[in-house]
With several copies, the nearest count.
Chain A
């Protein structure tokens, strides 16, 4: 049942596509139909570069259904260089080595599986900058 949902989210998930308001130039992630700053409805797609800095980090050991296979993993808030803060998992780093203030950049990874036979959803995670 989540195939339509995943399909709808693929631009945001795979290319960090959000929106830029043509009126007030606000940048927002993910895509919006209305500008959160000025309320306008004239928005263009905007792909974020993917660079950012961690604001907070937590090492998850008990995960909600759909994510249990990945524990332990580092959950983080990443402030993108363009401004918006994104909640995402970190990758290519030992969870206990992750900390606030790390430079990270977006990569594409497997995010979750919806049920044992559900579709596998790919999307953004963030890895330390310069990691292989």
Chain B
């Protein structure tokens, strides 16, 4: 399928943007994307943002982002699907384009976490799990991942330290990316000595929450031949929220279905895809994602990563700009950031992060510990 063209890309660094508000971040990334798509003015602005509500930030964010970008008389929507917000925003934009309601849509993902203290951010994030039965009983995404990680170790009989290789892959790629938050290689020793968050889950198993934004201008498929990157597949699937199901089954059914549907639309199999941007909000989620997308059999994601299978230059290059784990976890911005990174790969503009000869990319964004999955295939 040819759902849309990506005709403009903008990204801020992932990190601590003390001088920027949430709206500022939208304007910085959105403005850069508009500059790239010069000569075309979008008539809709869709913003994905996860925590702005809980953290008391600007509401009706897409309205304010559009207005500060000088875009008046446009359709604006703000999508809040937890960590999948960015992917969902792209998805809503595609629907507006495919419905023939707009010719050009600006999509922004943005998150501002550093205005709040870390324990408050973790509590805010926990509201994306069951707010009453999980968040209300002390379970956040890190505790949830820890419970699943313990099960993964027991069930698949793997060494706990093998999770290192997923983090190390992300760090190795982030070390090449000037916009990354944790832009350095991760020594195995540092991983092993990392402070415990929820045994067996350590600080180095989690992706660092930070500020950031990314934007793309999407256009209805042009009739003329065009060098623009195409969105060739798109699928959003939600099912079965809950830490219990995740940890008991050790699978991500929404991610599996969403990836399969998006690949099928694009006429591709996972083995045909050049680049994988996955939702590695923790090493545990990275492992389950790698398996859900079909890059390794159940229980074998860690081995695959340890063999270098996910490295740039490896069999299935993934997290090529550092992933959430080392580029930085920009929450609601993540999905748009991934799309921008995938598109840069296909343009051949990924610089030191370039995957040689990249022709297609699978980009998957997850919310509520994988219960919501949004996958796009670029070609």
Contact = CB atoms under 8 A, between A and B. Distances in A.
B189 interface: no
Interface in A19-61: 30, 32-39, 41, 55-61
B315 to A, nearest CB: 31
A56 B200 CA distance: 11
B147 A59 contact: no
B146 A58 contact: yes
B123 interface: yes
Interface residues of A, number: 48
Chain B interface residue bracket vs A: 35 or more
A58 B199 contact: yes
Given A8-B19, A55-B247, A87-B243, A65 B120 contact: yes
Contacts of B269: none
A89 interface: yes
B370 to A, nearest CB: 15
Given A33-B24, A36-B70, A85-B244, A58 B150 contact: yes
A88 B144 CA distance: 11
Interface of B: 18-21, 24, 27-28, 31, 55-56, 67-70, 114-117, 119-120, 122-123, 125-126, 132-140, 142-144, 146-151, 154, 195-201, 242-245, 247-248
Interface of A: 1-2, 4-5, 7-9, 30, 32-39, 41, 55-68, 70, 73, 75-77, 85-89, 95-96, 100, 111-112, 121, 123
25 contacts: A1-B56, A4-B18, A8-B19, A30-B133, A32-B27, A33-B24, A33-B27, A34-B68, A36-B67, A39-B70, A58-B149, A58-B198, A59-B198, A60-B138, A61-B198, A62-B196, A62-B198, A63-B138, A64-B123, A64-B126, A65-B117, A75-B138, A86-B133, A95-B199, A111-B137
